[in-house]
Structure 1
Amino acid sequence: MTDYTPQQIVARGARAVAEAAADAIDNHPDLEGATYSILEEDEDKGL
């Protein structure tokens, strides 16, 4: 079993930036077990 400390990162910004970050996480071999959520709370503001 691997020892790890869970982390939570909260950021605000454009949806395209969040999608690019998600793609980078998905394609990084060291982050294979990482999970994340993209919340859409600011989409109605055009962010």
Structure 2
Amino acid sequence: MLSDSKWAAKYCKLCAEVCEYCAEQCEAHDHDHCQRCAESCRACAEACRKMAA
């Protein structure tokens, strides 16, 4: 991001996709730690989407 790479937005979009997938997988489990992980992954995905814009 700092070097203004032409790939930065694509990296961020991919990161958002990976985080969303992780959140979906974690949400499938009822354990508290899985639910917390899902929340963190959703927050990360949102941050990545903002950076990709």
**With structure 1 as the length reference, what TM-score do the two structures score?**
0.43
More helix by share: 2
Q: Which has the higher contact order (CA 8 A, sep 6+)?
A: 2
**With structure 2 as the length reference, what TM-score do the two structures score?**
0.40
